[in-house]
Structure 1
C-alpha cells in the first residue's frame, strides 16, 4: 500500500504527496535515510529522490519505510519532517507508549486499532500535541496546532492562542432589589 501513494504535481487530482519545500529539505531527509541505514535500519521501500518524468526537476521523494529501527537511533529520536515512516518494534501497549514518549519531541502521532477504548487510552498517554485515531493528518478547520516538549510552544490556528495575550475576569452583577448570596 505504501508504494501506491501517488507522488505528483500538486494541481493533479490523483496526487497524494507533493514535493518537499526545497532542495535543502530534500537533502536533509535523504541524509536521515542514510543515517538510519548506517545505524542498522533497513529500507523496506522508497528512500530515494524521484529522478524520472515530470517530477525529475522538482524536490520529490519516494515515500520511505525504515524497519529494524531501535528507538535510540537518530531516525527514531529526531524530527525528520519528510515522507519517512520509522518502524520500531514493541512488546505490548505499555511498551509502545513508553517508546513513543522517550522522544524529546511531541508534535503529533497516530494510533490504529479496532478497539476504540484501547486507541483512546493510548492516545491519552502519548505525549503529543495532536493525536489521530484510525486516520492521520486529517486536520479540521479550527483545531489547535502545537506540540509538546521540544516540538514548539503554544498553540496556533485556534482562538485559544489569544489567551496568551489576555487575562480572564468575571464580573458578576445582581440586578434585583433583594439580597442575593451572602451580602
Structure 2
C-alpha cells in the first residue's frame, strides 16, 4: 500500500462514463473480517487508524462530492472504497496522505493542466499515465515528478529496479544495486604476509 494511488486525474471528456464504471467496480470490494469468505479487502491496521481515516472522510464531505461512501458501522476498522469527486486541488483531502481506501478525483481538460495538478503535491512516490499515445506517455513520464511512473498499469515492480520517491516521499532508493550502495560501506584492508 505504500505506493497506493490516492488521487485520480480524469480527462473531462471521459470522466462521467469512467466514474460510473469505477463506482460499479468499487462496490464489489467488501471490507471485513479476513476469515469471512465474503470479505474481498481487509480492515485497516487498527481502530485508531480507522478513526483517522473516518475524520478525513468527514472533512472531505465539505470539500467535494461523495460518490461512494465506504464507511462501515458493523466492523470498526473496516472501511471500503470511498470516492470523492470534484474536490478542489487545494483542499486537504487532495493534499494529505490518508493511508486508507479513499480516492480523490479531479477533472482536467489538457495535458498541461494534468501535469500541473499531478506535480502540485509535496509527495512524489508514484504516478501513472493511461494513454494510447506512446509519444504522450514518454513526454508525461519525463515531466511527472515521481520516483516511479507507470504507463497503462499501476504498481508493477521488480527487485532489480530502484524504488523511492521525490520530494517528501523519501530520500534514496530501495531495491536494486542502489540499495546495496545505500545500506553498505566499502572497506579496504591491506595485509602484509611478511611479518
TM-score normalised by length of structure 2: 0.71
Q: Deviations over 1:42-79 (max 9, x none)?
A: 1100241x334xxx2x6221101111111101111111
Equivalent residue, structure 2, for 1:4: 28
Q: CA deviation at 1:13?
A: 8.5
* Count of aligned residue pairs for this structure pair: 161
SS at match of 1:35: helix
Q: 1:18 to 1:115 in 2, by over 3 A?
A: farther
Q: Which runs of 5+ in 1 are unaligned?
A: 168-183
Q: Which runs of 5+ in 2 are unaligned?
A: 1-24, 187-195
Matches within 5 A, 1:134-153: 134-153=152-171
TM-score normalised by length of structure 1: 0.76
Equivalent residue, structure 1, for 2:108: 90
RCO higher in structure (CA 8 A, sep ≥6): 2
Q: Does 1:60 align with 2:78?
A: yes
Q: Does 1:30 align with 2:54?
A: yes
Q: More displaced, 122-131 or 14-23?
A: 14-23
Cα pair 2:65 2:84 within 8 Å, conserved: yes
Matches within 5 A, 1:1-183: 1-10=25-34, 17-38=41-62, 40-48=63-71, 50-52=72-74, 56=75, 59-164=77-182, 165=184
Q: What is the CA RMSD across the aligned residues, in angstroms?
A: 2.4
Cα distance in structure 2, aligned partners of 1:122 and 1:13? 41
